[in-house]
Amino acid sequence: MSDGGLTSGVDDAEAGGGPEPLDGTGRVRTDAAARGLEVEIVARPAADSLEAAATSLGLQPSDIVKSLVVKRHDGSFLFALVPGDRQISWARLRAVVGVNKLSMPSAEVALEATGYERGTITPLGSSTAWPVVADSRIVGRRVALGAGAHGFSAFVEADALIAGYDATVGDISD
């Protein structure tokens, strides 16, 4: 599948003449390599809807995976990976995680917990390696998720991502 000219074709390290900085997409690439994951980072145009973003990447909305930061009552966090066309089912997620209380933190708290701004969040390269819970609907698919920087998406095989994080898989969305 052609990427429509969205990738730069130049390795970031080559462009800068030195090692790739460990921020944004560099953190994603470094963590993916450490976990043995093949990840393709693709530049993408801004979009005003999930459908527009999916179309620009040649995907179905369900192939874009939201990496949601979820706060536990004890102050720790987890990542919930949910297909773009679905929402977290709080009751199902609580049952899978085995807790009574979960919440969505503010954008500032999510940034502090992961090192990523909303719209760029991914478990790959997070400043803390929080546990990952993946919706069962992403199993067996190649998906796009946040790439650590605005204007980029990371393509990865969901099964490899799940294995690389020893993620819990369950029915966590509506």
Nearest to 82 by CA among 96, 110, 62: 62
The reported pLDDT for the residue numbered 22 is: 66
Task: Specify the range with the lowest mean pLDDT, choosing from 20-34, 57-71, 77-91.
Answer: 20-34
Q: Is pLDDT above 90 for 77?
A: yes
Mean pLDDT score across all residues of the chain: 89
pLDDT of 13 reads 39
Task: Please say if the pLDDT value at position 3 is more than 90.
Answer: no
